[in-house]
Amino acid sequence: MNEMNDQEKPHMSDIDKTKIEKIIRDYMENDGNALTILQSVQETFGYLSFEVVEHLSEEIGIPLGKMYGIATFYAQFKFHQRGKYIIQICDGTACHVKGSMLLEEFITNELGIRPAETTTDKLFSLEKVSCFGCCAIAPVVFINKDVYGNLTPAKLRRILNKYRKMSIPMKKNRKVKKSKKVKKSKKVKKVKKVK
């Protein structure tokens, strides 16, 4: 479910080149460095691809070895596509004592993923982090930039449902709007008939 095969690996052709060009332009204009440009790519696309790193190296003239060195040194950089929502579960001592394992178990049962895995619908990824520095509200989970503390599996279930719903509205809204339009046009016809 979660290890990517060769066909699934991101390629340069999958990447929006206009966005890459913008990142390179910003880098040039702001006198950036290898770390900041890699961060921009990851922020924009959610992950780095080997082809993109090679492309950046050629375009901005930073040696490929140096770019790879940085990209593989920092844990923040990922070379695989992650879900829309990144669930980071704290596994530091305080969170561990307060039941982070139960939360992890719950996520595995609920979403079918373990740490470093992504759901097949690419909605959620699960990652483990050592300590967020907010141990007072342990156990803690981050979902993208949102922080949730004093969690229990029941609370986490409600939170996950919230994110699931947030990813549905576009489709649902379109359906609702469509059905409203249909009703409206029926009404118009009815009025016309009465005339």
List residues near ligand FES by CB under 6 A. Answer: 90, 92-95, 131-135, 138, 140
Shortest distance (Å) from residue 137 CB to ligand FES = 8
Tokens 């999958």: give the residue. 14
Shortest distance (Å) from residue 128 CB to ligand FES = 11
Q: Which is nearer to ligand FES, 35 or 94 (CB)?
A: 94
Of 146, 134, 135, give the one whose Cα is nearest residue 87. 146
Shortest distance (Å) from residue 75 CB to ligand FES = 16
d(CA 12, CA 44): 14
Q: Which SS3 state, helix, strand or coil, does residue 141 take?
A: strand
Shortest distance (Å) from residue 126 CB to ligand FES = 16
d(CA 102, CA 78): 26
Q: In what order do the strands lie in the sheet with 85-90?
A: 117-118, 124-129, 85-90, 141-143, 146-148
User: How does DSSP classify residue 30?
Assistant: T
Q: Which is nearer to ligand FES, 60 or 137 (CB)?
A: 137
Shortest distance (Å) from residue 42 CB to ligand FES = 23
Close Cβ partners of 115 (under 8 Å, ≥ 6 residues apart): 89, 104, 126, 127, 128
Which run of H or of E encompasses 124? strand 124-129
Shortest distance (Å) from residue 92 CB to ligand FES = 2
Cβ atoms of 37 and 60 within 8 Å: the answer is yes
Q: Which is nearer to ligand FES, 10 or 92 (CB)?
A: 92
Q: Which is nearer to ligand FES, 15 or 134 (CB)?
A: 134
Q: Which SS3 state, helix, strand or coil, does residue 150 take?
A: coil
Cβ atoms of 164 and 172 within 8 Å: the answer is no
Q: Which is nearer to ligand FES, 93 or 185 (CB)?
A: 93
Q: Which is nearer to ligand FES, 10 or 139 (CB)?
A: 139
